[in-house]
Amino acid sequence: MAEKLKIIPLGGLNEIGKNMTVLEYGKDIIIIDCGLGFPEDDMYGVDLVIADMTYLVKNQEKIRGMFLTHGHEDHIGSIPYAMQQFNCPIHGTRLTAGLVKLKLEEHHLERKVKLFTHEAGEVVKAGCFQVEFIHVNHSIADAVAFAVKTPVGTLVFSGDFKIDAMAEDGMIDLARFAQLGQEGVLLLMADSTNAERPGYTQTEQKVNATFDALFARAEANKKRLIIATFASNISRVQQIINCAEKYGRKVALSGRSMVNVMSIASELGYLKVPDGVLIDLNMISRYTKEQIVLITTGSQGEPMSALTRMAFADHRQVAVGEDDMIIISARPIPGNEKMVANVVNKLYEKGAKVIYSDIADIHVSGHACQEELKLIHSLIKPKYFMPVHGEYRHLKHHALLAQELGLPSNHIFILENGDALTYNKKRFSITKGFAPAEAVFVDGLGVGDVGSIVLRDRKMLSEAGLIVVVAALDVAVLLDFREVRVRHAQLLTLINIRCAAHKMDRCRQHLGAFLPVGRVAAKAADRTGLVMVAPEYGIPAVLYLHSLLPGAEEILQLHQVGGH
């Protein structure tokens, strides 16, 4: 029986982020990228969103390696969680590998996982696959595309890219893409993030002129500068440092990820900091405000980021006021607009001057617009095309653009996460729902513990509120359905729950359900929906009341008795 080539996206389709694609042929599997997504507004308590890796766990003996296009979180953020479920070699460029190494060390996985570093132009053999690294431009250094040679043909995976002739690390390798087009490409999988936008993406150098003008304005008005950007946008940070040196300002970094990434970038030579410019955040009080530039995280309004803590007066070292000019050098990722707006509003309330992408050219995209996409398609000349990296509208616009360039509609495939695009007998076919692809939620240390029911309950609590009754129970305490006597901290509280038969229905309506916290025995109290903690365990219990509506005082009466 002839082997089949399968392309299985586990993340990155019909969404922004969580990029992860599986290529499978026979007994060999390789993985391209392993990113995370950020929680939406209704995902209460969720820290991160990662792809469902069940298919890879079941087939881990086939995995020959993981290949990374670049070092952004939506492409490498899930690696620690993946490596806790299966193990495989990881391949990336120098900066990407440096960022991954940091993540592995944070999760104590550096000795378990083999990490390999490569340069653009190198070819790596992984089972039946040969993966070539091709230099591209993006908003982080060392970004690459992949040309993957398989037994049935060559696949090109663009990764995130744009065409920038003035890029610090050199222009994208268009010549190699053209050469691949001449050799023949079976399938192109290309970035669709900016497929709706006409024209070309601006060069990163355009931001330089804007920064210079803003620094001059801050200098004239004796303002401290606080600039928020992505921690991984090393070229943007370099621009800020260059301007700081020009205007005689000291630079301090705020935010753990910012400090970590800049440390790695400096160590590897991607960030050049003149002597005496960079200072510790704790030293900023030794300088006047007009002598300082703070580079911080929080450009996406993340709740725990440094800029958000400044905006809500929760930062230990930085208090924002009228003497501050704050620049948010990024555009909100789709879904983050509300969080960013909240932070901007709070900063304005503090009296700060706020500059953001809607009112100044302080950010350019790292993704190709329509004319750049057309150029890549024209150079590669793929026989088949699969748009990736984007919401459905982005994928659809990219598909229509490919049709405008002459590709037949039956040679274009828009998939969903978990589908399989299978090549067999000289044609592709789609298998819907081939692999599990539900989003997996990371909540603190728990991975996959939070499901839709928990999120529904959290949403209910956020809207209706709750009442918390804390009681320390003693083994000698008699726990009765109608009466609970609690002796704690010199206070005797008598809780009378009157549940006469004629009030039973109202009791259920008003009281909802009590839920004990911890591994304690519990029993349901008849029809009321009340759950009482068994007293023989003698441990504290927390009872949650979902809501207490008007009239509930007829049901629940609390009397405090002082003294003994």
Mind telling me the catalytic residues? 191, 367
d(CA 564, CA 561): 8
- Sequence-distant (≥ 6) Cβ neighbours of residue 408 within 8 angstroms: none
Reported for 301-305, long-range contacts at CB under 8 A and 24+ positions apart, including other chains, are 301/332, 301/336, 301/338, 301/339, 301/340, 301/341, 301/342, 301/343, 302/38, 302/339, 303/339, 305/255
Helix (H, G, I), strand (E, B) or coil at 194: coil
Q: Determine the 3-state secondary structure of 251 from DSSP.
A: strand
Is there a contact between 513 and 507 (Cβ–Cβ < 8 Å)? no
The 3 state secondary structure assigned to 286-316 is HCCHHHEEEEECCCCCCCCCHHHHHHCCCCC
229: Cα separation from own chain's centroid: 15
Residues paired with residue 11 on neighbouring β-strands, in sequence order? 20
- Three-class SS of residue 26? coil
CB 531 within 8 A of CB 525: yes
User: E strand or H helix at 179, and its extent?
Assistant: helix 174-183
Give the residue carrying structure tokens 């009872």. 543
Q: What is the DSSP string of 328-342?
A: E-SPPPTT-HHHHHH
Using only the alpha carbons of the chain, give its radius of gyration. Answer: 28
191 close to 33: Cβ distance less than 8 angstroms: no
* Sequence-ordered list of residues with C-beta below 8 angstroms from that of 225, at least 6 positions apart, any chain: 214, 215, 218, 249, 292, 293, 294, 324, 325, 326, 327
SS3 514: coil
Contacts (Cβ under 8 Å, ≥6 apart) of 282: 317
Question: How far is residue 321 CA from its own chain's centroid?
Answer: 30
